[in-house]
Structure formats: structure tokens, C-alpha cells
Amino acid sequence: MLKIENLHASVAGKEILKGINLTIGAGEIHAIMGPNGSGKSTLSNVIAGRDGYEVTQGTVTYKGHDLLAMEPEERAWEGVFLAFQYPVEIPGVNNTYLLKAGVNAARRHRGEQELDAMEFMQLVREKAKLVELDQSFLSRGVNEGFSGGEKKRNEIFQMAVLEPSLALLDETDSGLDIDALRIVAKGVNTLRAADRSIIMITHYQRLLDYIEPDVVHVLADGKILKTGDKSLALELEERGYDWVRAEEAAA
Amino acid sequence: MSASLQQIRHAAWQAFEAAGLPTTRDEDWKYTDLSRMQALLGDQWWQLPAADAAVDAASFAIPGLDAYRLLFVNGHFDAAASNLPAAIRVTSLATLIQDEPAKAMELIANQPDALLNSSIVAANSALATDGACICVPENTKLDKPLYILYVNSGGTTHLRTGIDIGKQASVEVIEHFAGSDVSTGVTTAVTAIRLRDGAHIEHSRLQMEAAKQCHLGRVEVNQQRDSSYTLHATELGGIISRADVVSRLQEPGASCNLNGLFVATNRQHMDHHTRIDHNAPHCISRENYRAVLDGRSHGVFNGKIVVAKGAVKTDSAQQNANLLLSPHAEIDTKPELEIYNDDVKCAHGVTVGQLDKNQLFYLKSRGLSGDEAKQMLTFAFADEILARMGNQSVRRFVEKEAFAKLPNITDLEEMLG
Ligand SMILES: Nc1ncnc2c1ncn2[C@@H]1O[C@H](COP(=O)(O)OP(=O)(O)OP(=O)(O)O)[C@@H](O)[C@H]1O
Ligand SMILES: [Mg+2]
């Protein structure tokens, strides 16, 4: 699904990603953990195609295509989805209208028939139910006046509607109370599928109790320092990151 | 015509001749150069004939609007094409001048200081041939809006409209300026509104002149106790346009709410000067103006708020936001607050900017093309103002006309849902 090789990227002339290697197979869930400022959001922004990041070395291959050559919207049409760490508010742009435009742009791209208003509303209602998002949020401006937790839930709702092949969840669990976390996790688990891969960036092992990852990576100082299974997350929670760095330095 | 009306007209003409057009040396006209208008129209700008072509007025009208109608074609009332309400008194200025010159004089002389502060108003006072005269009696609520459509085929027209709203009465008035692109010219339009105790008006003023037309407009509102005035000013048309809006809050409890949107493209020049006089305690004013500027267009916004010495507990807020879609577009914006007492709440803010990069990326990451994302954000920015319109037919019409001017509008119908 996704293959990242020796990825170096800088922001404003400063190197943030210093040689990332990561391979994610179809249907897999990978968790990425790491200290603040280590480059986790930078990695997800580079994958989603945000401006302002300069890739100086390396490649990102998605479904066999050169992902870095694609515009952000083309990536979206091809099934890449980023749930933002800090979703922006866009007053005046209707949540549902945005999604309809997004869904139909992707369908056009794939040569499929666009959904009409009725079909779309049906889809949206069903997905809103899945993440227990109140119907009133559908007609509001994108994230306009949403609480932190509501914004995160809206991201998962959008993911459910857009049905991506590769979803990057950047700290979607941060700022969620325990009920909201359970709901979001349920949404993600429902979307688990053999042809859908998920990258979850998180600081908290508790998310992984709800969504079980296949692989856990530690990203620190712009590099993947360690890769393991679920137990690695538990160990990180107990011991912090310093021992990983020490291990790396020794190696 | 009575002697006194003649005298007023004559005095106005002399004032106009003495003053001439304002120049950019005049602080109030610093950014709007009427010598450009004069160069376009010539020395006889104040009396250019309209093109000798039939005007299809119906083609300009707001579709689906359920309203009483007054149609003016090239500055003359067209009674046959109008549909007047029975409940209130509506006449044309031309009729009033003939039948009741004293009343006509009241309307034309209504603003003694305006004669002096603007030679354009003076010219209008001297030359206005027609306009609407509307009297809403006490405690009357008109069941439908009054839609005043002024169409021209170029040439100069001087329009003078007076609206007098009785105690506790309420009315919605839509003034719509449009024309065909066959010839150049200028429209001067002065609208004087008087709101008596507890009266209310929702006033839409749609400037949608043809591309080569100039437009010089003025709205003067005098407000008595507890009256409320709401304006929706949209500027879309014309090559050079200027509108002055003056609201005088004369007695306690009066409030005004001024909303404005201009969308300028190519070389359009649009200038809005507003002035709110808080002359009494406990009055409220709200002002929200936005401009979307593309091409080499130039926008001007000047929002003056004057709080008089005795006007304690004044509550005033002004916002002006400007979106520049092109590096060659320009805006000159200036809030001007003159406050002569301490016990007031006055907030104001100005922003000038481009589309937000984070918002653009968010939309693209959901599958919108760069053009679609820009269009959606531009629409959202402008519609914040139009969403304040109570009349949905008017709002839809303005939205369509406004966004049809901008590039990349592909599925407007869909977006408006
Ligand atoms: N636009 C920018 N300009 C300058 N520096 C930036 C910019 N964006 C990111 N950085 C820097 O890059 C580094 C990595 O940031 P990034 O957001 O990727 O960290 P993160 O791992 O997601 O951290 P967190 O856990 O706090 O979300 C930080 O030092 C940050 O300050
Ligand atoms: Mg981050």
C-alpha cells in the first residue's frame, strides 16, 4: 500500500525528517509514537501533500505510484485521507456540501457515477450514526464553533464518508473524553478492511487498547528508531523514550 | 411649480456650479478620482442623453420576488409597468412636483447641509426629475416588500427618493439599479429616509449598473426614538461607483445595522463612505462591510462613527474585511472614530488578506481542486454578509450575480443548494 524510503524533508530550511523508512501493507494498522516535535505531523503532512515541506531525498510510493508527484486533491481522489491534528474552522462552508463535493470529485476521478442528493444524504446519515455525530453538525460550517472533541469526531466522520484506502490519524485521540474515544475507536474499527491501511499517530497507549495495531513505531528526531508490536507501546508508556534513544546510540 | 421649489432648485444649481466636482484634494474623495469620470463622460456628464434603444426592464428584475413594484426607465416612472400597494401612499416625484409642490420641496430640501457638503447632491437636488415618494402611515406593516427597479440605457439620470415611515410602521424596500451596456453615463441617486418612533425598515440597495456606467449614490437616514434601520448594500456593477450612507441616530433607543458587500473585478472602482452619528444616548449601531477584489479593481471603505457629547451608553461595533484575489487589486480602508464622551462601547476591526492557506489545504485534502477550494472560500467569505438578508429571493439573486463575476464558478446552483 505505502512504501516510504529514506525520506528526508525540511521546513523553512530546517531538516525535520532525516531518513524515514516505512512499509505498510494493505489492511494493516500501524501506530506511530514519539516525543513532541519529533516529526510525526510533518510526516503526515508530507504524505497528504501540504505546501511548505521540501522533500530533499527519498521516495514515497503509494499503490505503486509516486505519491510525491501528485497534488493534494489527487491524493485524496486516490484514497489518501488525513485526519488533522488541528482541524481548521471554515465558517460558511457547509460540512455536508464539502463532503459531497469531495465524494463526487473522487467518483468522477474513478469514472464512477456521481451520487445524487438523495443517495448522498443517505450515506451521510448512516455514517453520522456510526460515529454518533448529531445530525445538526451536518448543516454547520466546517468545524465552525466545534469543541476540540467534536472536531476530532468530525474528522472520523469525514473519513467514514470518504472511505479512504490509506488513513492517517494524527492524534485523533488527543482531547477526547473516554466516551468519545470509545466512539471514535468503534468508527475506526468498523472501517478496518483488507484493502484499507491506517496510520495512527498517538501519544497514548490507551488508544491502542481500543484499536489494536499490527505494528508500533517509535519516531524520534526525524527517524524511525524502533519498530515492534503492541507490547512496545506499553513499554514506552512505562519507560518513556530515552531508552529507545540510548539503544539507538549504542547500536 | 411653486416659487419656493424653484428657488431651492436654483440655489442647488448655483451651489453645484460654484463647487464643481469634488477632487482628490478633498479628504472625503482622496481615493476616488472623479476626473476619471469626467474624462470618460465629458463636461456635460450631468446631462447626457440615454441611448435611443428600447430597454427590456423585465430582463433585469429579480426573479421570483413577490413584491409591489415601481419601475423607472431612464429616470422616468413607468406607471403601466408598476404595481403599487393600496395600503400606503406611493407616488412618483414627478407627480408630486406637479400635484403637491410643497411636499416635493420638503423631499428635495430635506437635507440643508448636504447641499453644501457635496456638489453631487446639489446637482441631484437641482436636476432630479423623478424618484419614488413613499409614505407609510403609523402602525402599518406592508404585507410585501416594495421593489424599486431603476433601469437605464446609459446616459445621465438624477433620481431622488424619499421614504417616510410613520410611528411603529414597518416596511421592506429594495432599490435596484441596473442597465444595459449600450452607452456610457452616470446615475446619481439620493434616497432620504425618515424613521419615526418605533419605525423599522429593511433596505436593500443593489448597485448593478452596466459595465460602462458610473454611479454616485447617497442614502440619508434620520432616526427617531426606538426606530431601527437595516441596510444591505451590494455593489457589483459600474465602472466608477461611490455610495455615501449617513445614518443619524437622533433619539434614544434608535439602532442601525449596515451591511455591505462589494465584489469588484477588472478595473472597477468602488467606494463606500459611511457615517453613523450617535446623537442620543442608548443607541446601537452595527456595521459589517466586506469586499472581494479581483483583477485591477480598487475598493475604498471609510467608516466614520461620531459619538456626540451627550450620547452616553452608545453601543457601536464596526467590522471591515477585505479579500484580495489578485496581486493587482487594491483596497483603501479606514475606520474613523470620533468619540466625545467616555461612557461608550465602540469596537472596530479591519482585515485585509488573501485566502487562508490552511483552509485551502484542508479543502484540497478532502478532494476539492485548487480552483474549487478557492471558489468555495471566496463564496463563504462574501456570503457571510449576504446571509444577513431576510429576503431569500433577493439573497439568491445577489449571490448569483456576485459569483457570476468571479472566475472558476462552475456549479453555482449546486453550491447555493
Ligand atoms: N511551518 C513550520 N515552520 C518551522 N518549523 C516547523 C514548521 N512545522 C513544523 N516545524 C517544526 O518541525 C518539528 C516537527 O514538528 P511536527 O509538528 O512534525 O512534530 P510532531 O512530532 O507532530 O509533534 P507533536 O507531538 O507535538 O504533535 C518541530 O520542531 C516544529 O517546530
Ligand atoms: Mg503533531
* R_g of chain A computed on alpha carbons: 18
pLDDT at position B394 is 97
pLDDT digits (tens, 9 = 90+) for B325-341: 999 999 999 999 999 99
- Given this model, what pLDDT does residue A34 score? 94
Q: Is A81 on the interface with B (CB under 8 A)?
A: yes
Does A129 have pLDDT greater than 80? yes
CB B217 within 8 A of CB B206: no
Residue (of B156, B153, B292) closest to B216 by Cα position: B156
Q: Is A41 left (phi over 0), alpha (psi -120 to 50) or beta?
A: alpha
Q: Is A143 in the pocket of ligand 1 (CB under 6 A)?
A: no
Which chain A positions have a beta carbon within 8 Å of B370's beta carbon?
A: 71, 73
A184 CB contacts (<8 Å, ≥6 apart)?
A131, A152, A153, A156, A172, A173, A176
Q: Where are the domains of chain B?
A: 3-354, 356-417
Cα–Cα distance measured from residue B353 to residue A45, given in angstroms and rounded to the nearest whole number: 24
In chain B, what residues touch A141 (CB-CB under 8 Å)?
Answer: 380
| pLDDT band of B52, cuts 50, 70, 90 | confident
B172-198: average pLDDT: 95
Question: Tell me, what's the pLDDT at A238?
Answer: 86
Task: Identify the DSSP state of B49.
Answer: P
Residues of chain B above pLDDT 70, percent: 95
List residues bridging with B187 in a β-sheet. B157, B215
Q: Which of B276-290, B298-312, B402-416 is predicted with the least confidence, judged by mean pLDDT?
A: B402-416
CA A46 to chain B, closest CA, distance in angstroms equals 12
Predicted local distance difference test score (pLDDT) of residue B92: 93
CB-based contact A29:A200 (threshold 8 Å): yes
| Mean pLDDT of the region A57-70 | 96
| pLDDT for B1 beyond 50 | no
B14: Cβ–Cβ under 8 A, 6 or more apart, which residues? none
Mutate which of A15, A17, A20, A38 for ligand 1? The one with the most ligand atoms within 8 Å of its CB, which is: A38
Q: Is the pLDDT reported for residue A64 higher than 80?
A: yes
Residue of chain A minimizing CA distance to B369: A73
| Confidence category of residue B411, pLDDT binned at 50, 70, 90 | low
The pLDDT of residue A40 is above 70 = yes
CA–centroid distance, residue A39 to ligand 1 (Å): 6
Confidence class for position A192, pLDDT limits 50, 70, 90: very high
Cβ-contact B288, B316 below 8 angstroms: no
Residue from A74, A88, A151 whose CB has the most chain B CBs within 10 Å, to mutate: A88
Question: Is residue B96 over pLDDT 50?
Answer: yes
Arithmetic mean of pLDDT, A155-176:
94
Checking if the pLDDT of A137 tops 90, the result is no
- Is residue B16 within 8 A of residue B123, CB to CB? The reply is yes
In chain A, where are the structural domains located? 2-250
Per-residue pLDDT band for B107 (boundaries 50, 70, 90) equals: confident
Q: Looking at residues B272-290, what average pLDDT do you find?
A: 97
Mutate to test the pocket of ligand 1, among A7, A18, A20, A42 (most ligand atoms within 8 A of CB): A42
For A38, other C-beta atoms within 10 Å of its C-beta total: 21
| DSSP per-residue string spanning A58-118 | EEEEETTEEGGGS-HHHHHHTTEEEE-SSPPPEEEEEHHHHHHHHHHHHHHHTTPPPP-HH
The whole-angstrom separation of Cα B173 and Cα A121 is 38
Residues of B with CB under 8 A from a CB of A: 356-359, 361-370, 372-373, 376-377, 379-381, 383-384, 387, 415, 417
Closest CA to A82 of A43, A28, A125, A29: A43
CA of B357: which chain A residue's CA is closest?
A51
What CATH topology corresponds to A2-250?
Rossmann fold (3.40.50)
Confidence of residue B115 (pLDDT cuts 50, 70, 90): very low
Mean per-residue pLDDT of chain B? 92
Alpha helical stretches, state H, B275-391: 357-365, 370-386
Confidence of residue A47 (pLDDT cuts 50, 70, 90): very high
Tell me the average pLDDT of chain A: 93
What pLDDT, on a 0 to 100 scale, did the predictor assign at position B414?
Answer: 64
Q: For chain B, say whether A110 makes contact (Cβ under 8 Å).
A: no
CA pair distance A212, A189, nearest whole angstrom: 9
How high is the pLDDT of residue B105?
A: 78
Ligand 1 within 6 A of A41 CB? yes
Instruction: Indicate the top mutation candidate among A8, A40, A169 to test ligand 1's pocket, ranked by most ligand atoms within 8 A of CB.
Output: A40
* Distance from C-alpha of A173 to C-alpha of A151, rounded to nearest angstrom: 11
Decide if pLDDT at A42 tops 90.
yes
What is the reported pLDDT for B3?
58
Q: What percent of chain B has pLDDT over 90?
A: 81
Residue nearest to atom 13 of ligand 1 (CA): A37
Q: Is A37's C-beta closer than 6 angstroms to any atom of ligand 1?
A: yes
Any ligand 1 atom below 6 A from CB of A52: yes
Residue nearest to atom 25 of ligand 1 (CA): A36
